[in-house]
């Protein structure tokens, strides 16, 4: 079964690969950058959290990389958003 990966820079370019990993690093022909292409399930979870931030986290205080890490853990590892906490 192929998995889809999406460019994090432009979010337009996608590629399909026959393996399942959190991300790929690849040249994007759309935005012309060497960028991380994130697993589509992770990207969809990230967008869901962006549209409706988890109440248990101060989502707006997290940087993009932290948000993607949490999204990856929830989407691919089956963790709950309640497993995460922000330290002051």
Question: What share of the chain in percent tops pLDDT 70?
Answer: 99
Residue 19 has pLDDT above 80, yes or no: yes
Distance CA 85, CA 59 (A): 10
pLDDT of 56 reads 87
| pTM of the complete model | 0.88
Counting Cα atoms < 13 Å in the Cβ hemisphere of 76 gives: 19
Mean pLDDT of 20-31: 94
pLDDT at 55: 87
- H helix count then E strand count, the chain: 2, 4
Radius of gyration, CA atoms only, the chain: 14
Are 31 and 7 in contact, with CB atoms under 8 Å apart?
A: yes
Mean pLDDT score, 41-66: 94
Q: Which of 8, 2, 4, 3 shows the shortest CA–CA distance to 28?
A: 8
């Amino acid at each position: 079964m192929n998995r889809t990966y999406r460019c994090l820079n432009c979010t337009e370019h996608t590629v399909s690969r026959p393996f399942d990993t959190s991300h790929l690093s690849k040249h994007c022909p759309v935005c012309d950058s060497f960028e991380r292409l994130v697993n589509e399930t992770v990207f969809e979870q990230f967008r869901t959290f962006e549209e409706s931030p988890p109440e248990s986290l101060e989502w707006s205080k997290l940087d993009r990389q932290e948000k993607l890490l949490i999204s990856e853990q929830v989407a691919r590892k089956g963790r709950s958003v309640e497993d995460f906490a922000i330290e002051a």
